[in-house]
């Protein structure tokens, strides 16, 4: 997956390196599938690139760049959720690694993907790492749900905001039109559909299910939830997350269409409220042990 768009963010990062104004910690904010992790990897390559001085970094072909791409560079630490959260043991391992001197360069780079999945114990442990850093290190936190992070962590990070790409930008990648329509300016979705990582037909089916769930009346929604969860099980957490994702996609699409036309402010407000409620439900499902069934039932009563 090659990098598309986000030129302003990349320019800011490049200037921070060249001007020796590197923050200790950066917080990449924005919706999922915008390319925040891809930009984070590009930034780490900029830090470590050993290519010719007359070539703009990262060169992408030197040993350092290739090692970062595979997350195998000895001075690069990549942390992601194990199961549903990032555990305190992962942060303690990070602290041990930071106590050692860099192997190939002068600094270490740490990328924490889905940083909102740090559980509270891990967040408190990581906060101590930020307050009392060991050696030279740059931290990049990636999150689509920054409100879940402790205010004291966010206050120690410089925020870099990411937004959906314009139609002109994402069209440059030459995706098929049907994929462009579904991507909503999010290259991660487009790449996932194009490469087959996400099955296109199943994606369409999930959208249709979510559409029915949104447009039908309360009785239909409650009966759907009843059939969705077997009597002897309250699982289906991943399926529930997928449903919420599809609902968010449809609601955002409706918000964009309504904002582009002559629609009453009350309709816009209702759609925005539905997006906020669905996003909150998704966060709760991802970060707590809440029952997916009870969560969905409570959500539809608020619509």
**Model pLDDT for residues 86-137, shown as the tens digit of each residue:** 999 999 999 999 999 999 988 999 999 999 999 999 999 999 999 987 778 9
Q: Which residues of the chain have a pLDDT value below 50?
A: none
The Cβ of residue 57 has, within 10 Å, a number of other Cβ atoms equal to 21
Contact 73, 104 (CB under 8 A): yes
- Do 137 and 110 touch, CB atoms closer than 8 A? yes
pLDDT of residue 259: 52
What is the pLDDT at residue 234?
A: 56
Q: How many alpha carbons fall within 13 Å on the CB side of residue 106? A: 3
pLDDT at 155: 95
Say what the pLDDT of residue 272 is. 83
C-alpha of 42 from chain center = 16
The pLDDT of residue 210 is: 86
Residue-range domains of the chain with CATH: 7-163 (3.40.50.300), 199-302 (no CATH)
Residue 30 has a pLDDT of 92
Nearest alpha-carbon partner for 108 in 93, 97, 124:
97
pLDDT of residue 108: 95
- Total-model pTM: 0.82
Q: Would you give the distance in Å from CA 83 to the centre of its chain?
A: 16
The secondary structure of the chain in percent helix, strand, coil, rounded to multiples of 5, reads: 55, 10, 35
Where would I find the beta strands (DSSP E) of the chain? 25-29, 76-79, 108-112, 137-143, 158-161
How far apart (Å, rounded) are the C-alpha atoms in residues 8 and 13? 9
Q: What pLDDT shows up at residue 261?
A: 57
């Amino acid at each position: 997956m090659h990098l598309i768009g986000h030129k302003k963010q990349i320019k800011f990062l490049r200037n921070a390196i060249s001007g020796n104004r590197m923050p200790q910690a950066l917080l990449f904010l924005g919706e999922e599938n915008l390319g925040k992790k891809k930009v984070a990897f590009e930034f780490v390559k900029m830090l470590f690139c050993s290519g010719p001085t007359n070539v703009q970094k990262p060169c992408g072909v030197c040993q350092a760049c290739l090692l970062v791409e595979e997350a195998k560079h000895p001075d690069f630490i990549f942390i992601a959720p194990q199961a549903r959260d990032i555990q305190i043991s992962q942060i303690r391992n990070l602290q041990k690694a930071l106590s050692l001197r860099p192997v190939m360069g002068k600094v270490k780079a740490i990328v924490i993907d889905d940083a909102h999945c740090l559980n509270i114990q891990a967040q408190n442990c990581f906060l101590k790492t930020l307050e009392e850093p060991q050696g030279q290190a740059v931290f990049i936190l990636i999150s689509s749900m920054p409100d879940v992070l402790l205010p004291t962590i966010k206050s120690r990070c410089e925020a870099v905001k990411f937004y959906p790409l314009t139609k002109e930008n994402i069209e440059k990648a030459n995706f098929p039109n049907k994929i462009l329509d579904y991507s909503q300016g999010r290259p991660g979705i487009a790449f996932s559909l194009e490469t087959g990582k996400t099955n296109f037909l199943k994606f369409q089916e999930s959208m249709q299910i979510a559409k029915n769930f949104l447009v039908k009346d309360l009785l239909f929604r409650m009966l759907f939830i009843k059939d969705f969860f077997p009597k002897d099980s309250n699982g289906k957490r991943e399926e529930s997350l997928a449903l919420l994702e599809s609902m968010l996609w449809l609601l955002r699409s409706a918000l964009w269409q309504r904002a582009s036309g002559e629609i009453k402010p009350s309709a816009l407000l209702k759609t925005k409220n539905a997006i906020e409620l669905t996003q909150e439900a998704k966060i709760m499902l991802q970060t707590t042990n809440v029952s997916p069934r009870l969560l969905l039932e409570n959500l539809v009563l608020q619509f």
